[in-house]
Every structure is written in structure tokens, then in C-alpha cells.
Structure 1
């Protein structure tokens, strides 16, 4: 399964506006290096993020990136 690197642009309401596939890799290390390099190119733009995801195909990668992620529940001793 390949690693996909996406450029994600958020809308004004915080929802995902646009997913753009930048590149895909068969191995983790080149994908990680590429994603880090792209993050430095993008800079600190608050509406744009670079994400790397491991999935069997492009469709699954985009579905997983669009899933809402819930905040983890903190236990009393973790506060």
C-alpha cells in the first residue's frame, strides 16, 4: 500500500475545502522527507496543511482525510 501526500486547504468555517494529491510513494522514508519539505514551502499559512496518509488507493486516502476526527477523551490523571 502506498503513502499519499496531500495539500489540504480549509474553508473559512473550518471544513475541508480542497484536497490536492501532490505525490505518492511506496516507502515511508521518502514520503516523510517529501512531506516535511512541502511543509517548509507552504510555511505557516493557517488555511493550508500538508498531510501524509497510508492507504490502499487514492479514493480510500481521500475518504480517510475527510472523516471527522474526534478529540480523545482525557482521563482524570491525564489532565
Structure 2
């Protein structure tokens, strides 16, 4: 399964733009790091996401993660 690189807007509505895809994480990660140096990260983010296809990758980017549970000294 491929690794996709997306440009994600940081505004109130996420706008996803697929940039490219790679077969290996190492290559995708290196390209994403290079791209992050070239863009204004206050306006957009560069994300690497793993997925069976583009739809699955975009669903992963759009999903809201639950907060980690508070335990012990954290609360």
C-alpha cells in the first residue's frame, strides 16, 4: 500500500490536496521534510498518510482523533 503526501489547509475547513505518492515510507518522509522547508506552515501542513487508496488516506486525514485518556498525574 502506498504512502501519500497531502497539502492540508490549516483554516476552519480542511482542504486536502494530494501532491504525490510513494511505495516506501522512507522516501515519502524525506520528500515531506523537504517540502515542509519550502512552505509557510502557518497556512498549510504537509502530511504523510498511509492508505490502501486515496479515499482511505483522505478519510484518515479528515477523521478527528479522540483525546488520550487522563490517568495518574495527568489529571
Give TM-score, length-normalised by structure 2: 0.88
Map of 2:67 onto structure 1 = 71
- Deviations along 1:42-75, one digit per CA (max 9) or x if unpaired, are 14x3230000011000010011111112221221
Number of residue equivalences: 75
Map of 1:9 onto structure 2 = 9
Map of 1:21 onto structure 2 = 18
Give the alignment's Cα RMSD to 1 decimal.
1.4
Long gaps (5+) in structure 1:
none
Classify the secondary structure of the residue corresponding to 1:41: coil
